[in-house]
Structure 1
């Protein structure tokens, strides 16, 4: 079991690191403020006067009214500047879609590998713990 654990981790560890990093970037970009500056929500939508230290274009951006055609299910267009504009790209990298079917397959296999590493790690821990009892070890922990 240890051999499989070791060899699979060499291959899938790189992909899991990539998936973790793109997931973090995706969330970072999604949580970034819409206007690029941290201003109160009511102020950002023009419901209250802008503070003197916040430029007017940041406090109340002029955006055209979005109208969804009848019978369609749609959402307003996303931002075109700043980190929020990259959310879709980061999500496609994270899921592997940016690399086609091979990327999606590697992403799915990496998920199964993570499941395997979790279960095999627990299995190896239990085996070491039970071997400790059979050896008659007087140490409290098996790794000593």
Structure 2
């Protein structure tokens, strides 16, 4: 299990760092304060809007809000086509594998340590 854990880490570690960076950047840009909001674009002359607000044009996204969509596409791999999406999916599976195999290795080492009765607890030096 250790051998698989180490070899898969070499390949997927780069993609996991990429996904962590783009995920954090996506959340930071989504939570960033909006600041000065631009008003809606001007309406054409002669246009009469009914009482509801639904017909008014919305302002185009700009600044940080446009970065959210871009970082989301980078994070999910959609920006790189089907291969990027497949690598993103495989990186998610790799993260699950690393979590399960890491716990498996930890508990097997804890179970097999020689002086377990001398040192109570879950951690050792």
- Distance apart, 1:62 and its partner CA: 2.6
- Distance apart, 1:104 and its partner CA: 0.5
Change (3 A) 1:26 1:101: same
Question: Structure 2 CA distance, aligned partners of 1:112 and 1:76?
Answer: 39
State which of 95, 111, 124 in structure 2 corresponds to 1:130: 111
- Distance apart, 1:85 and its partner CA: 1.4
Change (3 A) 1:25 1:136: closer
Q: How does 1:41-56 map to 2 (within 5 A)?
A: none
1:90 aligned onto 2:74: no
Q: TM-score, normalised by structure 1?
A: 0.67
Question: Structure 1 CA distance, aligned partners of 2:26 and 2:58?
Answer: 19
1:113 aligned onto 2:91: no
- Distance apart, 1:33 and its partner CA: 2.7
Gaps of 5+ in 2: 42-52
Change (3 A) 1:28 1:139: same
Change (3 A) 1:79 1:96: same
State which of 54, 61, 79 in structure 2 corresponds to 1:79: 61
Q: TM-score, normalised by structure 2?
A: 0.76
Change (3 A) 1:112 1:12: same
Q: Give RMSD over aligned pairs.
A: 2.4
- Distance apart, 1:77 and its partner CA: 5.6
- Distance apart, 1:27 and its partner CA: 1.1
